[in-house]
Amino acid sequence: MKTIPRTGEKVPAIGLGTYSVFDVGPQEAERGPLREVLRLFVMTGGSLVDSSPMYGQSESVVGMLSEELGLQKRLFLATKVWTTGREAGIRQMSASFRLMRTNRIDLMQVHNLADWEVHFRTIREWKEQGKVRYSGITHYTAGAYSAVERVMRKERPDFVQINYSPASREADERILPLAQDLGIAVIANRPLDTGRLFTMVRSRALPAWANELGCTNWSQFFLKFVISHPAITCAIPATSNPEHLRDNMRACVGSLPNAAERERMASYVERR
């Protein structure tokens, strides 16, 4: 469990991303595995599910499956606004409530800083009304970090969501320390680098010393690296495979690496 700095609320360190994998049609062959993923996610202690209007049918699929499984009250629902203009933003965020089949969204984020000044005012209003519990901003590339930093300083959002993995550590330089200084929770997207990490270690065995950290496979190795950073609140790997979900959730079990062990892990991944 990790702590949200602004409130002290605890959330599991491994969440569930929905980009691409939850954007499926109505056929049972497509939705069946996702139903099992969501069931296992909650059964193994997960709660934070992250989506966006940008992700096709993902919000709708999360809403339908969580309602089918009776899990709405056990999920920490996070989604985003990704449009231009106040009224368009209100329409899009209102649609997210309907699609996710909820009366309250735990975290509403401005996706990739799109028209953030306008949307952040609405999100603040909705927080005061109790429709939204937390505010946030997101981006997925290091090239946007200067803009992310400016918004963090100006708006002091409750959450910032950025890319972070053993092979993509640019956030270490300024974003993560700033989040700690300002008391902002951090969600790590792309914690498996969209699969690139597995390619990087494809010809290598998991090092024997990884067993000391409770790692039995590469996904646990990568995810433990991410969630062990003191600024990271939650990592959100996406999967449609129930077995991969089980592997990901086991990263929450056992000890986490210290600073020296994290450097050793990153060096091992990046070694050619």
Task: Provide mean pLDDT across the span 56-74.
Answer: 97
187/189 Cα distance (integer angstroms): 6
For the stretch 102-131, pLDDT in tens is: 999 999 999 999 999 999 999 999 999 999
205 in Cβ contact with 217 (< 8 Å): no
Distance of CA 105 to the CA centre of its chain: 15
**Rounded mean pLDDT of 222-242?**
98
DSSP 229: S
Q: Residue 34 pLDDT more than 90?
A: yes
Rounded mean pLDDT of the chain? 97
Residue 272's pLDDT band (boundaries 50, 70, 90)? low
CA atoms within 13 A on the CB side of 261: 19
193 near 167, Cβ under 8 Å? yes
Percent of the chain with pLDDT over 90: 97
Using the predicted structure, report yes or no on whether residue 79 has a pLDDT greater than 80.
Answer: yes
Domains of the chain (ranges; CATH) run: 11-194+232-255 (3.20.20.100)
Q: How far apart are CA 20 and CA 58, in angstroms?
A: 8
What pLDDT does residue 81 have?
A: 98
pTM over 0.95: yes
Check: CB of residue 41 under 8 Å from CB of residue 70.
Answer: no
